[in-house]
Amino acid sequence: MAQVSIKRVYEDASESDGFRVLVDRLWPRGMSKERLHPDLWAKGLAPSNEARKEFAHKAENFQSFRTRYLMELDQSDEAAALAAELLSHEVVTLLYAAKDPEVNHAVILRDWLESREK
């Protein structure tokens, strides 16, 4: 069973991160590949541009965004394949650039990945 955690891309990498996966569709501003050091850039696990724009990182839009994003994940063969790859690792850290640690797609993605292991 994989341990899945989330971390902002602007936090330093650590050995305890395990397999580091960038889950944003766009590369984070001001971040070099050397500093971020992802093992994988999983654009296929990021929400669609339309969903992201509707959400606009506003807390009041989070529940409708969650519903839409989970539907996108459930209907995506690419997301299913990436999930299987990630869950084959003991420790996975999902990297995201959003400012709010509670209201972002990585929180939803972590929960979705954990639900696939059951």
Tell me the backbone φ, ψ of residue 7, rounded to 5 degrees: -155, 140
Residue 76: which domain range? 3-116
Predicted TM-score (pTM) of this structure: 0.95
User: In this predicted structure, which of 28-32, 71-75, 107-111 has the lowest mean pLDDT?
Assistant: 28-32
Sheet holding 19-22, edge to edge: 3-8, 91-96, 19-22, 40-41
Total domains present in the chain: 1
Greatest alpha-carbon span in the chain: 38
The predicted-structure confidence for 52-67, as pLDDT tens digits, reads as follows 999 999 999 999 999 9
